[in-house]
């Protein structure tokens, strides 16, 4: 297991972490671990397309009638 040290944590943040830990029945250290683990695992969740396909399958699927607009557009002038 790795160890990290967080320096210069504001007193208000430390008090909030202690209160949150107490509310969840955890030590402050265990609460910080839980917060870090949760924040990292969110980054590896399924993507939007995968989530949309899963929701579609759950409701029996759906069809989209999409018509592409082929109207010519003038290029944007960034000058």
Q: What percent of the chain has pLDDT over 90?
A: 48
Tell me the three state secondary structure of residue 63.
Answer: coil
Instruction: Say which CATH number the domain at 19 has.
Output: 1.10.1220.10
Structural domain contains residue 72: no
Identify the domain containing residue 32 by its residue range. 11-58
Q: In the chain, how many domains are there? A: 1
Question: What does residue 20 show for φ and ψ, rounded to 5 degrees?
Answer: -65, -40
Q: What is the pLDDT of residue 42?
A: 64
Encode pLDDT of 23-57 as tens digits: 999 999 999 999 998 888 766 667 888 888 888 88
pLDDT surpassing 70 at residue 6? yes
- CA-wise closest residue to 28 among 7, 12, 14, 44: 14
Task: Return the structure tokens found at 42.
Answer: 């969110």
In a domain, 75, yes or no: no
Would the pTM count as exceeding 0.85?
no
Distance CA(62)–CA(55), nearest Å, equals 10
pLDDT of residue 12 exceeding 90, the answer is: yes
């Amino acid at each position: 297991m790795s160890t990290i040290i967080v320096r210069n944590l504001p007193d208000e943040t430390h008090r909030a972490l202690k209160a949150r830990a107490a509310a969840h029945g955890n030590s402050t250290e265990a609460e910080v671990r839980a917060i870090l683990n949760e924040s990292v695992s969110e980054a590896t969740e399924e993507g939007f397309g995968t989530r949309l396909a899963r929701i579609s399958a759950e409701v029996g699927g759906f069809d989209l009638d999409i018509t592409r607009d082929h109207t010519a557009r003038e290029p944007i002038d960034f000058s």
